[in-house]
Structure 1
Amino acid sequence: MQAGTIAIRRATENDLDAIVAILASDDVGGHGDTTDEAARADYLAAFRTLQQTPRETLYVAERDGEVVGTFQTLLTTTLSGRGSTAMIVEAVHTRSDCRGQGIGAAMIRHCVAEAERQGLRLVQLTSNARRTDAHRFYERLGFIRSHFGFKYKLK
Structure 2
Amino acid sequence: MKRISYLSIVFPIILLLAGCDEHGDPQADIQLSDTQKASVSMRGQWAQASDATLPFGTTPGVLDDLVLTFRIDDDYNPSQFAADGALYFFEGDNGSWSWTDDTHTAIVLNNIEPVTRIDIMKEGYAIRLSFTYSGPSGGRPKTVGDYGVTLTKIAP
Length-normalised TM-score, structure 2:
0.29
Length-normalised TM-score, structure 1:
0.29
Structure that is richer in strand per residue:
2
Structure that is richer in helix per residue:
1
Larger radius of gyration: 2
